[in-house]
Chain A
């Protein structure tokens, strides 16, 4: 080891020369992973530290549709300060005009907020802002609502039957993330919960959520308090959250986004790994004489291997530290952007765990891609090192090195899977990435073989270009691999985005209804249907009863103890829309079991979405218990339906047979298809006649979703861009490594009479062919990957978007041509005479 270290130290005197691409590849990949992890940690630590403020209390109880009982409330108030909040969606109408807007209502009591402060444009405290004055309740709202309604502070509006006066605009709502729903469809509107009776909005069966937040006198007593609550009310149907996990939705979102971006970042690192491997090989090419001499002087292969491994590790260390510094600074650099984009104040700081993880990825990548070329160089007998440079790096190294390389790659995969939020997705990624690497490896060989076989077709330029692709030592394989992997990620991301965009901006608006109307009361149904059908532009309406329920047991096992596949955990997580029906919904089809007769009367049956049934591990004959309005209703699964979630129709996981639910308090949900040019007439007619009915315009929802996806897509595209930059670096490295050969070839060709145009033409043809073939393969693999994600994960219909693919392919050709041209231009600038003189 000492001798190896001494040799390594002497060799390192050469400095970083020849290691620029190596360092850049590692630094870039590590920086991407470290940056994503650090940013996620900064947001999550913001979530954790501000848990009580974000949740609005040390703990919160959430009850859908029905309020908790006075006894329950008394129990809470005995032990802590309590704040009650009512959440619902409704329509706000400006007084004196026909402008209206969907609003996300948050009706609070005098105790609000228990933690943090509501910041508004007024200096008045909440109780003054919300008090009833001259027949109008005080309210504050997002500025967006005022814009939509065309009113200012002091303006009045009606929601339901109540009149509200806007007394200030909300600047910052501390607990915004802890609402009833993850997706806000309208601007926030806040007023006093005392105005609820006057509004008439909360009727039996109305979609309303009651939140009880508690502030404990002793903050450390949280777990005792929770234990006491569970002991006192074991069967309560509320959902309890506490400050230690204030916003699971955001946490889940951050975790998932981090996973996807980390995987894309990992691709960048893998692409960089190819660059690392090339750089190590090129470095060792220049060291062959030294290695041979050392061997002649009696150094063993092991000693030489160790000496060069030490050098590579020192260089890797520098690259990794560089990447960690860049990635570690990301939270600080992105602080402003995150503050604007997220409802959480991210903490700026250095986060050890993500940096350690990124470093581990970096070390494993550097080792996995270096051991092989080092071992091969060190294994060759001394005599052969002095001959035939092209044979130096062929063949397999001795088996321990092959095993070590495989073990390192396996460790890299295990680290990716073991540290992922979703090991399943990470496993798919590892499988996909390995498959893609093998495919590109094979493609590189096939391209070289095809070029060799094509041999002398075409003119001299084409022949030379083809010949350059299969020459010994040609960079074809590494360019195809590195650029190909980067492009595959880009094509996959671009196609998924295009498909999502297409769904949201084109397919969905074409198929989806124009409006959802919710909270139609039983006694309003007839009038509602008549009103809507009478408006010009009306095309079709569907209506269904709507209740909310929560799965409590599956085959007798409490749902909390039930193991469920990740994709369907949401079914058990909170309360879900539930309906009952005599006929099977139009557009759906049964995949198992039988639909009950329209006049069915008998034991309670359930028709379940087939996909969720698979993920829940249930089938025909199994029983499920759903708590609806405080009552546990058990049913036997009688049929499974193929639900098309992508259609934005009224899709339900659970449909009950007629019976108990028929007489439960319920409201109705209706979808209306109308001529897009005339659909506003329907909205106006409903708002005028049924102030309690909430209108959701699908186009607005899609706009919201589209904007959100756009921002998310940007983050993923940026990371995919890192993979492309890494691929470009590898390509640049390969071109730089071949520069001496190119200069020499150009000079000899010039001596033999080739013009500059001819030399450039040949080399551009070579790189153009290489770029084009790589792009075609990347587009194929990327399309298959995107198809798999769109159809299997997102369950949308896949449409091939030629524009995304062509743009990516062009990008590949342009990158290779630009770098190839640059390399060639530099080669052509060299004077011939000095190279030709006898040494």
Chain B
């Protein structure tokens, strides 16, 4: 439907976004007026030193944190107008997230972990879809394993399967290889890009890795809560 618009609506739009969090030492300004638009289907890397606000920006885009000031629209929704349950439904319908620490539910096996978003969306065949998604990340032999019984790479692949299983329009990945060795990390990233391409989703990837950042069509650098640079790469990395 969006394709029918004359000017395509951006997938993500941040307008003078500020984020101030309370800490024991007093309020800390994390984001200090971010203006950013990301079109549907773009792949965007976010780089920057620790504490520059990368994860906070991703949390805002995922509706897991609320901005202190500014306007934030994701997938056509003004997130400020949504209550907590509205945000939950928004994520369910639009967003898939991959964390550095995987964040699988430890007491659910791989299949159950992946099936959850489909079940929450009320879609049919949750377990068939979960099985398919796990197969697409090469884990079809680990369906009934609990997270504690999976290696780090396998856990992240399961998390990836969970992120894409319900076909989200926006994929958020926060240093998805941060806890993995180089080889395993590369495999996970290949999968991430491949799956994104299959689904045509918008990808926002937080990373410290410059090579990884270069695989995205666009690289944004954050510095002390502000956008330091916003560069379009010559060619988007192949899947």
A binding-site residues for B, Cβ under 8 Å: 387-391, 456, 460, 463-464, 467-468, 471-474, 741, 744-745, 748-758, 832-833, 836-839
Q: Which residues of A contact B59 (CB under 8 A)?
A: 833, 836-837
Known: A467-B112, A838-B99. A754 touches B120 (CB 8 A): yes
The reply on B116 being an interface residue by CB < 8 A is yes
Q: Which residues of A contact B103 (CB under 8 A)?
A: 748, 751, 836
> 5 shortest A-B CB distances, which residue pairs?
A753-B92, A471-B107, A460-B119, A755-B85, A388-B148
Chain A nearest CB, measured from B114 CB (Å)? 10
B148 touches A752 (CB 8 A): no
Q: Mark B38-65, 1 if CB is under 8 A from A, else 0.
A: 0000000000000000010001001011
Contact of B84 among A460, A468, A756, A837 (CB under 8 A): A756
A837 touches B149 (CB 8 A): no
Q: Mark B106-129, 1 if CB is under 8 A from A, else 0.
A: 111000100011011110001100
A752 touches B92 (CB 8 A): yes
B binding-site residues for A, Cβ under 8 Å: 55, 59, 62, 64-65, 84-85, 88-93, 97, 99-101, 103-108, 112, 116-117, 119-122, 126-127, 146, 148-149, 162, 174-175, 178
B97 touches A751 (CB 8 A): yes
Q: Which residues of B contact A754 (CB under 8 A)?
A: 88, 92, 116, 120
14 new A-B contacts, CB < 8 A, other than A388-B148, A748-B104, A756-B85, are A389-B148, A390-B146, A390-B148, A467-B112, A471-B107, A749-B116, A749-B120, A750-B84, A751-B103, A752-B116, A752-B162, A754-B92, A757-B85, A836-B101
Max chain A Cβ within 10 angstroms of own Cβ: one of B85, B127, B178:
B85
> For the complex, what is the distance from the CA of A647 to the CA of B107, rounded to whole Å?
59
Q: Which residues of B contact A833 (CB under 8 A)?
A: 59, 64-65
Instruction: Name the residue on A nearest B21 (C-beta).
Output: A833
A839 touches B101 (CB 8 A): yes
B93 touches A753 (CB 8 A): yes
> For the complex, what is the distance from the CA of A474 to the CA of B108, rounded to whole Å?
11
Chain A nearest CB, measured from B177 CB (Å)? 12
A750 touches B55 (CB 8 A): no
Q: Which residues of B contact A464 (CB under 8 A)?
A: 119
> For the complex, what is the distance from the CA of A752 to the CA of B175, rounded to whole Å?
18
Q: Which residues of B contact A387 (CB under 8 A)?
A: 148
Known: A388-B149, A755-B89. A745 touches B121 (CB 8 A): no
A753 touches B88 (CB 8 A): yes
> For the complex, what is the distance from the CA of A832 to the CA of B122, rounded to whole Å?
23
Instruction: Name the residue on A nearest B174 (C-beta).
Output: A838
Known: A751-B91, A753-B88, A833-B59. A471 touches B120 (CB 8 A): no
Chain A nearest CB, measured from B122 CB (Å)? 8
- A–B pairs, 26, beta carbons within 8 Å: A389-B106, A389-B148, A390-B106, A390-B107, A390-B148, A468-B107, A471-B107, A472-B107, A741-B106, A745-B105, A749-B116, A751-B103, A752-B91, A752-B92, A752-B116, A752-B162, A753-B88, A753-B117, A757-B85, A833-B59, A833-B64, A836-B103, A838-B55, A838-B174, A838-B175, A838-B178
> For the complex, what is the distance from the CA of A833 to the CA of B65, rounded to whole Å?
6
B120 touches A753 (CB 8 A): yes
B91 touches A753 (CB 8 A): yes
> For the complex, what is the distance from the CA of A468 to the CA of B85, rounded to whole Å?
22
Instruction: Name the residue on B nearest A755 (C-beta).
Output: B85
Q: Which residues of A contact B84 (CB under 8 A)?
A: 750, 756
Known: A456-B127, A471-B107, A838-B100. A752 touches B117 (CB 8 A): yes
> For the complex, what is the distance from the CA of A751 to the CA of B94, rounded to whole Å?
11
Chain B nearest CB, measured from A216 CB (Å)? 77
Chain B nearest CB, measured from A164 CB (Å)? 81
> For the complex, what is the distance from the CA of A391 to the CA of B55, rounded to whole Å?
34
Main secondary structure of the interface of A (DSSP, over half): helix
> For the complex, what is the distance from the CA of A471 to the CA of B97, rounded to whole Å?
24
B55 touches A837 (CB 8 A): yes
Chain A nearest CB, measured from B231 CB (Å)? 25
> For the complex, what is the distance from the CA of A833 to the CA of B66, rounded to whole Å?
10
Q: Which residues of B contact A472 (CB under 8 A)?
A: 107, 146
Known: A754-B88, A833-B59. A744 touches B105 (CB 8 A): yes
Q: Which residues of A contact B90 (CB under 8 A)?
A: 753
> For the complex, what is the distance from the CA of A755 to the CA of B99, rounded to whole Å?
21
B146 touches A755 (CB 8 A): no
> For the complex, what is the distance from the CA of A253 to the CA of B100, rounded to whole Å?
69
Contact of B107 among A741, A752, A757, A837 (CB under 8 A): A741
A460 touches B120 (CB 8 A): yes
Instruction: Name the residue on B nearest A756 (C-beta).
Output: B85
Chain B nearest CB, measured from A364 CB (Å)? 34
Known: A750-B88, A753-B89, A838-B174. A474 touches B97 (CB 8 A): no
> For the complex, what is the distance from the CA of A752 to the CA of B119, rounded to whole Å?
10
> For the complex, what is the distance from the CA of A755 to the CA of B86, rounded to whole Å?
8
Q: Which residues of B contact A456 (CB under 8 A)?
A: 127
Chain A nearest CB, measured from B58 CB (Å)? 10
Q: Which residues of B contact A474 (CB under 8 A)?
A: 107
Chain A nearest CB, measured from B142 CB (Å)? 15
Chain A nearest CB, measured from B150 CB (Å)? 10
Instruction: Name the residue on B nearest A752 (C-beta).
Output: B117
> For the complex, what is the distance from the CA of A456 to the CA of B105, rounded to whole Å?
18
> For the complex, what is the distance from the CA of A390 to the CA of B120, rounded to whole Å?
26
Chain B nearest CB, measured from A585 CB (Å)? 68
> For the complex, what is the distance from the CA of A94 to the CA of B227, rounded to whole Å?
106
> For the complex, what is the distance from the CA of A837 to the CA of B51, rounded to whole Å?
12
Max chain B Cβ within 10 angstroms of own Cβ: one of A387, A456, A758, A837:
A837
Q: Which residues of A contact B116 (CB under 8 A)?
A: 749, 752, 754
Q: Which residues of B contact A473 (CB under 8 A)?
A: 107
Instruction: Name the residue on B nearest A390 (C-beta).
Output: B148
> For the complex, what is the distance from the CA of A757 to the CA of B83, rounded to whole Å?
13
> For the complex, what is the distance from the CA of A729 to the CA of B122, rounded to whole Å?
37
Q: Which residues of B contact A390 (CB under 8 A)?
A: 106-107, 146, 148
> For the complex, what is the distance from the CA of A375 to the CA of B201, rounded to whole Å?
52
Q: Which residues of A contact B162 (CB under 8 A)?
A: 752
Q: Which residues of B contact A749 (CB under 8 A)?
A: 105, 116, 120
> For the complex, what is the distance from the CA of A839 to the CA of B174, rounded to whole Å?
12
> For the complex, what is the distance from the CA of A474 to the CA of B105, rounded to whole Å?
13
Instruction: Name the residue on B nearest A750 (C-beta).
Output: B88
Q: Which residues of B contact A753 (CB under 8 A)?
A: 88-93, 117, 120-121
Q: Which residues of B contact A839 (CB under 8 A)?
A: 101
Max chain A Cβ within 10 angstroms of own Cβ: one of B89, B93, B105, B122:
B105
A463 touches B119 (CB 8 A): yes
Q: Which residues of B contact A838 (CB under 8 A)?
A: 55, 99-101, 174-175, 178
Chain A nearest CB, measured from B44 CB (Å)? 19
Instruction: Name the residue on A nearest B116 (C-beta).
Output: A752
Q: Which residues of A contact B65 (CB under 8 A)?
A: 833
Q: Which residues of A contact B62 (CB under 8 A)?
A: 751
> For the complex, what is the distance from the CA of A262 to the CA of B90, rounded to whole Å?
58
Q: Which residues of A contact B92 (CB under 8 A)?
A: 752-754
A836 touches B89 (CB 8 A): no
> For the complex, what is the distance from the CA of A389 to the CA of B107, rounded to whole Å?
10
Q: Which residues of A contact B89 (CB under 8 A)?
A: 753, 755
Q: Which residues of B contact A471 (CB under 8 A)?
A: 107-108
Instruction: Name the residue on B nearest A837 (C-beta).
Output: B55
> For the complex, what is the distance from the CA of A387 to the CA of B117, rounded to whole Å?
28
Chain B nearest CB, measured from A574 CB (Å)? 66
Chain A nearest CB, measured from B214 CB (Å)? 22
Q: Which residues of B contact A748 (CB under 8 A)?
A: 103-105
Chain A nearest CB, measured from B107 CB (Å)? 4
A758 touches B108 (CB 8 A): no
Q: Which residues of A contact B91 (CB under 8 A)?
A: 751-753
Max chain B Cβ within 10 angstroms of own Cβ: one of A744, A752, A757:
A752
Chain A nearest CB, measured from B54 CB (Å)? 10
Max chain A Cβ within 10 angstroms of own Cβ: one of B88, B90, B97, B100:
B88
Q: Which residues of B contact A757 (CB under 8 A)?
A: 85
